[in-house]
Amino acid sequence: MGSSLGIFRNIRVYWLAFIVYWGVVLFGYDTGIAGGVVSQGYFKRNFGLVNDDNTINIDRSNEVSSNVVSVLQAGAFFGALASANISSKLGRKRTLVVFTSIFSIGAILTTVAKDPHSGLKMIYAGRVISGFGIGGISAVSPAYVSECSPKDVRGRITGTFQVMVATGVMISYFINYGISLNTKLQNNPNVWRIPFGFQLVPAGILLFGLFTVKESPRWLASVGKREEALRNLAYLRRDDESSADVLSELAEIEAAIEEERLAREGLGWKEAFFGKGNFVRFVIAFVIFLFQQWSGQNSVGYYAPQIFASIGYDGSTSALLASGIYGIIKVVATAIFIFGFVESLGRKLSLFISAMGMGSLFFVIGAILKTHPPPEIIAGQPLPIPPPASKAMAAMLYIFVCFYSMGCGPVPWVYVSEIFPTRTRHYGVALASSSQWLWNFVVSKVTPTMITSLGYKIFFQFGTINIVGMGIFSLLIPETKGRSLEDMDVIFGSISAEERQADIEKHELERQAQDHKGESINPSQPQDEKV
């Protein structure tokens, strides 16, 4: 039956991915929306970020900007850590329902905030709660989709994770830009209520859409619900429960689960982190995300309006439009790399080219900003048109995000998911995820202050981190392109190539002996022919 379905064979898997990845869009949207909201004039006036002479209180504005953005990452850090135990007990689908509901509560709090005295506290609380929900969603969504996808489309479907994040960020930029164009919205609480309230749209699609999809067959099998796992797997493959293909895939799932259970039996933290060949992998997992978060992309992404204003695109409308274009380029560049080059370039070369390109562009931007600072804004006079130097710097930022999307953005997740063995993979991915959210929080917290205090030097700082940090780091780590997961133990010194080859030959001999034994007693052969 399945073979006759053609391109529609996996339609239910694609539908599941479409629903679940609204959570990823939500992840991108919520991380990109805050910078534009805080840059709006009415937001600053309503929450006391303006001095008595109607000038912006820079220190207070920086503090609020960093808090509104960074508390989301703080909540997400704990949400991601909590998701593992919750997901293992409740399943992928119900866990997403729980975290999406939690997120929605936070979104409602940020949307209804208004009072100048208590409003900011409500926004902070809402962002923390939303962050907790997003942390769980971002951790569970890709695993859920991967577990339900067949081998032939798994890479294509799971690889769209970064594309959907970029799409969410792009939408957030244009929501803020649209509000800046509407004069009726600029002088009332709608400048934050609409952007924060729009979060409930993808959250609602995800929450209600989850009731149209099935639970992960792999999770069901892992908790002993074999019959339900078989039914769900057959449903996703649009095949019969008695199909040889479905039964074979379920058998493979059960075998892998048993292997993982045996591999982790008796595993303690000391062996996990300090076992032979393990420690260097954990160091790589931690450091690769440290450099990713300090590459400068998140600073540009979270505070794009402020960044563009600092290079000459002053005024909320022009800065937000420049941010929206930045978001479009990021989506397109990420999609082109994931679907066209991630396997051909390899991990090391992708990271190296990405780091060199980003670092070089940041140095150029910093030099132009030093020699050609943007014109000063004079109160009561029209905003000046961005000069050629500002346009050149904006173009450099657009090229910068292309380099980010071809390496430092998607590759760390790919690399970390490959290098750990089954026995310690859950520890490794947890450390990588926590490192990502930790440095994400730190960068988003300090960026507004750095923009104000460093000026053009902030670009030199990020340029140095990319070239000296990620550039050299990418040359030191092993290449994993085209290598099997089993090869990772050899690459990182857990076992020698000779020992691994001996183990392979041993298992091959055992399999051949079992096959020979099975051929000597063939149950499918009629008894009268055996005689």
112-120 mean pLDDT = 85
Local structure of 56: helix, strand or coil: strand
Written as one letter, the residue type at 268 is: G
Write out pLDDT tens, residues 352-372: 999 999 999 999 999 988 888
Q: What gap in Å lies between CA 225 and CA 204, rounded to an integer?
A: 29
| HSE-up (13 A, CA, CB side) for residue 82 | 18
* pLDDT for res 318: 67
User: Residue 493 CB: number of other CB atoms within 10 A?
Assistant: 11
Predicted pLDDT of residue 328: 86
Residue 445 pLDDT grade (very low, low, confident, very high; cuts 50, 70, 90): confident
pLDDT the model gives residue 377: 59
Q: Which of 431-445, 459-473, 500-514 has the highest mean pLDDT?
A: 459-473
Tens digit of pLDDT for each residue in 369-379? Answer: 888 887 665 55
| Mean pLDDT taken over the chain | 82
pLDDT computed for residue 173 by the predictor: 82
Whole-number Cα distances in Å, 31 to 48, 111, 223, 308, 440: 24, 16, 35, 17, 10
Is the separation of the CB atoms in 302 and 68 below 8 Å? no
3-state secondary structure of 475: helix
**What pLDDT score does 426 carry?**
67
- 159 pLDDT more than 70: no
- Asked whether residue 380 carries a pLDDT value surpassing 70, the answer given is no
The CA-based dihedral angle spanning residues 156, 157, 158, 164, taken in that order and rounded to the nearest 10 degrees: 110
Interatomic CA distance for residues 177 and 324, integer angstroms: 7
Per the CB < 8 A criterion, the answer to whether 126 and 108 are in contact is: yes
Amino acid at 164: M
Residue 329 belongs to what H/E stretch?
helix 316-340
Residue 96 has pLDDT above 50, yes or no: yes
pLDDT value at 2 more than 50: no
Q: Does the pLDDT of residue 218 top 80, yes or no?
A: yes
CA distances from 287 to 128, 280, 292, 477 (A): 26, 10, 8, 11
Residue 56 phi, psi (nearest 5): -75, 130
pLDDT in tens, 54-92: 777 888 888 888 888 788 888 988 988 888 788 888 999
- Number of H-type helices and E-type strands within the chain: 28, 0
pLDDT of residue 351: 93
- The confidence score (pLDDT) of residue 507 equals 60
Question: Which one-letter DSSP state was computed for residue 50?
Answer: B
**CA-closest candidate to residue 415, choices 250, 320, 283:** 283
Contacts of 345 (CB under 8 A, 6+ apart): 353, 406
pLDDT higher for 79 or 529?
Answer: 79
Q: Which one of 92-101, 317-326, 375-384, 399-408 scores highest in mean pLDDT?
A: 92-101
Which tokens sit at 68?
């509104």
**CB neighbour burial string for 496-516, b if at least 16 within 10 angstroms, e if fewer:** eeeeeeeeeeeeeeeeeeeee
Q: Which carries the bigger pLDDT value, residue 411 or residue 199?
A: 199
DSSP symbol at 471 = I
pLDDT for position 522: 54
DSSP string, 161-216: HHHHHHHHHHHHHHHHHHHHH-TTTTTSTHHHHHHHHHTHHHHHHHHHHGGGSPPP
Quote the pLDDT of residue 529.
44
> Mapped to the 3 state alphabet, what secondary structure does 70-128 carry?
HHHHHHHHHHHHHHHHHHHHHCHHHHHHHHHHHHHHHHHHHHHCCCCCCHHHHHHHHHH
Q: Poorest-confidence range of 76-80, 113-117, 310-314?
A: 310-314
Complete domains list, the chain, with CATH:
8-213 (1.20.1250.20), 274-483 (1.20.1250.20)
According to the model, what pLDDT value does residue 245 have? 87
Q: Which of 106 and 84 is assigned the larger pLDDT?
A: 106
The pLDDT of residue 476 is 94
User: Which string of b and e fits 98-118 if b means at least 16 CB within 10 Å?
Assistant: bbbebbbebbbbbbbbeeeee
For residue 14, report the phi and psi dihedrals to the nearest 5 degrees.
Answer: -65, -40
